[in-house]
Every structure is written in C-alpha cells, then in structure tokens.
Structure 1
Amino acid sequence: MIELQNIQLSFGEKKVLNDISETFQQGEIIGLVAPNGTGKSTLMNVMMNYAAPNSGKVLFKNGLTYSSKANEVKIHQLISMMPDQSDLYNHLSGRDHLKIYCTMWKSDPKLIDTTIEALNMGHYVNKKAGTYSLGMRQRLCFAMQIVANTEIMLMDEVMNGLDPINVEIISGVLMEKKAEGKMIIIASHLLDNLEKYADRIFLFKDGKLIGVDDIVEGFSGSTMTTVRVRNMSDDMKATFQTSYPKLKVQTLVNDMTLLTLDKKDAETLGEMAIHLAELGINDFTFGKVTLNDLYAMYYG
C-alpha cells in the first residue's frame, strides 16, 4: 500500500505537485498519463525519496514513512524503480545485472532464469550489455526490476523502444505480477496498451492527479456510448446536434469527432448510424471514449 498525503513540491515558482492525496493498493496496476514535464516522474521520485516534497508525506504499510535512514532502508525493501538504460554497465552481461539486483533485494535466484525465459532473453543475456540494441537494453532494465521482486514496482516508460511483440510479452508479465499481488505504477505514453491492463488511470493537470472517471463518467466501464466519425463537417455536426439534443459533440486535434450519448442507448446509436449512412458518411465506428481521445481532449 502507498498513501500519498497532501504532497506538494515546487521548483522555484513552478508548482509541480499540487496537494496530491491518493491511495494505491496491492494487486493493482496504476497508469499515469501526461505530457513530459507535468510531474509523472517527479511523483515517482517522491515515492522513492529521491526528491523530498515541500510538504506532505508518503505512507507505506505499518505506517512506515521516510522519517529516518533506517526507515528508508526498510521501505526500499518494499519498493523499487525500474532502472534507466543509462544505469547499465556496458562491460557486464545481462545475467550479471540480474544477479546484482537479485542479491541487492535478497530475492529468489530462481527468478533469474524464469525471467530470462519469460522475456525471451536467452540468446543475448550472457553477452555484454554494451552490445545490446535499444530494445534489448529496455528488456534488461525491466527484467532487473522483476528479479528484485519488490511488493511495489514503479516504471517510467517501460515500453520505450520495444516492438509490438515485446510490448505484448511485457504486458503479459505485468498481468502475472499483478496476480501475485504486486502493486505496479506505470508512467506511459503508449496509451492503447496501458488502457488494456491498467486498473486505474490518472492524468496530470496543474500539478494535480485526476482520475479518468472524474473527467469522463464511466470511462473505465465497457459501455458503448460513442460514435467516432472522421473529418465530419461543421454543418453535419450541427445537424446531429439538432437531431439529438442530448448528444455531446467533440472534435479532437486529429479531426476525429466523437458523438457521445449520456448513457447506453442502442436504439439511438442505431438511428445515428442510419443517419450517417444517409448523409454519405461511411468512415465511422462505434465504441467508447478511448484513452487517446481523452488525452487529446485534456491536453490538445
């Protein structure tokens, strides 16, 4: 468990974290989404005590806080942050790196081989890290955190530089760790992927952490309420707004227009599809508001 209590942190005149209070539980994956420079990484650094807040505190299980060096040692047995590629030693092999992390966190050495197999690293893990591609280095960084096997795992852009196959492999491992009761907090720009497995997703705005369901009611649910239409003219938008007064019409920066109903209404959705077809519009799909849509609405 992590409980953030009224976390505030400023750099000069800029308030990066503005009175953030939130509780995260074991066995859930938390997604953090925002443009660069809005506070995602800073919040993780506060959780790790790499950055001290101006006010507020971070609580862990049994009421542990960063009140002393002794407590920090105890907390860092519970929480880890995925290393950055710049933290790798080019003269050491991938297996050497995994052994170091396994030893530092006193985890089960058997995790090394099972993680290598799960991430399909066997063909290069014994080579020096300096010979690795970007994707191979990223998988190694992820593997290092997995073998540390902490209860809480923080990951900043875990999918960076990975091809679609490895994105799916790592997504599968994340789901396995969630099933084991791990808490995983991920900052990511790969929104389609994040939406598939995150239990809760938060956006940053003005230093605050905002849950997606507070922005779009029922966002996390599976209710189909939206027709997505590409390149819809202003006249056609006005026509639909008149025909369906309760309809919410939003056009995003990518020229995608969302026609959203307040609640599930299959009959009205069907009428709208017929109406679009009658107007000669065939480039539309049914669904719900996506995380990419929400990002465009919020930051566009």
Structure 2
Amino acid sequence: MLELKNINVQFSGRNILKDINETFYPGEIIGLVAPNGTGKSTLMNVIMNYVKPSKGTVVVNENLQYTSKKNEVKIHQIVSMMPDQSDLYNHLSGIEHLRIYCSMWHSDPSLIESTINALNMESYVKKKTGTYSLGMRQRLCFAMQIVSNTPIMLMDEVMNGLDPNNVDIISKILLKKKEEGKIIIVASHLLENLESISDRIFLFKHGQLINVSDVSSGFGKNEITTVRVREMADEVNNKFLNEFPETNIQSLANGISLIDVTDFNVEQLAEIVVFLKENNQTDFSFGNVTLNDMYSMYYLGGK
C-alpha cells in the first residue's frame, strides 16, 4: 500500500502540489493526466524522495516513511521509478542494463529473458544502447523497470516514442503486473490507452489530485450517459436548454457538445434525437464521457 498524507510542494511561492491525500492499493493501475509542468513528475519525485515536500508524508506498507537513510533504502526496494532514456549508458548493451537492474533489486534472473521475449527485444538487446532508436531505448527503460520487479512501480510517459504495436504490448504487460498485485502509477498523454488500462485516473488542477469519476458521473460507465454533438450552433444550444431546462450541456474547445443524459429514459432520449434532427444537427452519437473529453474540459477551455 502507498499513502500520500497531506503532501504539499512549493517552488518560488507557487503551489505545485497542495494538500494531496490519497491511498493506492495492490492490484491497481493509477493514471495521472495533466499538461506538462502541472505536477505529475513532481508527485512521482516526492514518492521517490527525490523532492522533499514542504509538508506531508509518504507512507509505504502502512509504517515505512522517509525518516532515515536506512528507511529510504528499504522503501526503494519496494518502490521503483522507470529510468529515463538519459540514464542509459551508451557503451553498455541492453542486456547489461537489465542484469544491473536485476542485481540491484535482487530479483529473479529469469525475468530478464522473459521480459526480452515479451518486448521482442531479442534482435538488438546485446547491442550497445548508443545504437538504439528512440523506441528501442524506451522499451529498454520499461524492461529495466519490469526486471526490478518491485511491488510499486512509477512510470512517467512510459509510451513515449512507441508505435501502436508496442503500446499494445506494454499495456498487456502492465495488466499482467496488475494481476500480480503490483501498484502501478502511470503518467501518460495517450489518453485512450490510459483510460483502457487504468483502475483510477486523476487530473491535476491547482496542485491537487482530482479523481475523474468525481468530476463526471458519466465517466467510465458501461451505459449511455452522454449525447455527443459535433458543431452544435449557439442558437440550437440555447433552444435546447429552453426545451430541456434541467439538462446540462458542456461545450468543449474541440467543437464537441456533451449533453448529460445520465438519468434519461428511452422516451426522453428519443425526444432529444427528434429535437437534434429537427434542428439540422445530424452529427451526433450516444455514449459516455471519455478521458479526452475530461482533458478538454479541464485544460483546453470550453464553456
């Protein structure tokens, strides 16, 4: 278990993280979403004790805290962060990097071979990393995290530079690690992918963590909660609100209008369809609120 208790971080008088209280449990993938510079990486660095909070405590497994160097060593056997590509040594091969990480965390050496196979790295893993492409280096960094085999894994932009096939491969590995009981915290700009693999997703706003499910009742539900209308004219929007005064409409910066129909029955949904067609709004669909919608609401403006 990983607990964040009243975490605060300030830089130059600005709140980067403010009053963060959250608990993460074994067998969870946690998604973090926000534009660059809003606190995602800072939060991970606080969890690793690379950045010390101005106030608050990180607690691992109910009682371990960063109160001494000895405790830090113990925590870092439980919590690891995926290395950055700049951490790679160009004169060493990929497999040498994996052996170093396996040795540092005293994990099972058989993980090296199985991870190489799972990530299709056999053709280049024995070559020096200075010859690797961006995607190859990213896969190696992910593989290093996996062979460390810690109960808690932090990953900042794990999918960076990867093609769709490798995004799919890594997603399947993450889901397998979740089944093994790992706590995995992933920050990513690939929102559809993050939505598909995460158990809980948090946005950053004014230094605080906000659970997307608390923001929109329609997020993540396997039922119709939203009518999505493309390029809904203002006059049609106003007319709609006059006819359906209890209905909430969220207009996004990308030209999409979301009509909240969470509590609507079939007859009410049919009335909306008739209204949209009568007002020449034919580009619409039924579904639910997506993570892309949430991102647009929070970070790209709208009304």
Which band: TM-score by shorter chain? over 0.9
- Name the CA distance, whole Å, in 1 between partners of 2:295 and 2:169: 25
Kindly tell me the number of residue pairs found equivalent between the two proteins: 300
SS at match of 1:7: strand
- Name the CA distance, whole Å, in 1 between partners of 2:136 and 2:255: 36
Structure 2 residue identity aligned to 1:90? N
In structure 1, the residue matched to 2:125 is 125
In structure 1, the residue matched to 2:253 is 253
Report whether the alignment pairs 1:105 with 2:93: no
How far did residue 93 of structure 1 move? 1.1
- Name the CA distance, whole Å, in 1 between partners of 2:175 and 2:62: 26
Report whether the alignment pairs 1:232 with 2:212: no
SS at match of 1:16: strand
Moved more, 220-229 or 91-100: 220-229
1:69-88 aligned at under 5 Å gives the runs 69-88=69-88
- Name the CA distance, whole Å, in 1 between partners of 2:94 and 2:154: 21
- Name the CA distance, whole Å, in 1 between partners of 2:82 and 2:263: 40
1:22-33 aligned at under 5 Å gives the runs 22-33=22-33
In structure 1, the residue matched to 2:145 is 145
SS at match of 2:74: helix
Moved more, 66-75 or 262-271: 262-271
Q: Could you list the runs of 5+ residues in structure 1 that have no partner in the other structure?
A: none
Report whether the alignment pairs 1:52 with 2:49: no
SS at match of 1:114: helix
Q: Is the CA contact 1:247–1:262 (under 8 Å) kept in the aligned structure 2?
A: no
In structure 1, the residue matched to 2:295 is 295
- Name the CA distance, whole Å, in 2 between partners of 1:86 and 1:173: 23
- Name the CA distance, whole Å, in 2 between partners of 1:214 and 1:98: 40
1:234-279, CA deviations, whole angstroms, 9 ceiling, x for partnerless residues? 1111222222222211211111111112425333223322332333
1:170-224, CA deviations, whole angstroms, 9 ceiling, x for partnerless residues? 1100000000000000111111110001000111111111111221125232231
- Name the CA distance, whole Å, in 2 between partners of 1:289 and 1:266: 19
Q: Is the CA contact 1:213–1:220 (under 8 Å) kept in the aligned structure 2?
A: yes
How far did residue 9 of structure 1 move? 1.1
Q: Is the CA contact 1:223–1:264 (under 8 Å) kept in the aligned structure 2?
A: no
Structure 1 residue identity aligned to 2:127? K
- Name the CA distance, whole Å, in 1 between partners of 2:182 and 2:198: 13
In structure 1, the residue matched to 2:9 is 9
Q: Is the CA contact 2:218–2:262 (under 8 Å) kept in the aligned structure 1?
A: no
Moved more, 245-254 or 1-10: 245-254
1:74-100, CA deviations, whole angstroms, 9 ceiling, x for partnerless residues? 100001000000001111111111111
Structure 1 residue identity aligned to 2:91? H
Q: Is the CA contact 1:246–1:261 (under 8 Å) kept in the aligned structure 2?
A: no
Percent identity (aligned): 62
- Name the CA distance, whole Å, in 2 between partners of 1:144 and 1:270: 53
How far did residue 28 of structure 1 move? 0.3
In structure 1, the residue matched to 2:223 is 223
In structure 2, the residue matched to 1:273 is 273
How far did residue 106 of structure 1 move? 0.5
- Name the CA distance, whole Å, in 2 between partners of 1:26 and 1:218: 26
SS at match of 1:95: helix
Provide TM-score, normalisation by structure 2.
0.96
SS at match of 1:210: strand
1:68-217 aligned at under 5 Å gives the runs 68-217=68-217
Q: Is the CA contact 1:82–1:144 (under 8 Å) kept in the aligned structure 2?
A: yes
- Name the CA distance, whole Å, in 1 between partners of 2:37 and 2:266: 41
Provide TM-score, normalisation by structure 1.
0.97
Structure 1 residue identity aligned to 2:39? G
- Name the CA distance, whole Å, in 1 between partners of 2:142 and 2:266: 43
Cα separation, partners in 2 of 1:178 and 1:155, compared to 1, 3 Å = same
SS at match of 1:281: coil
Structure 1 residue identity aligned to 2:296? A
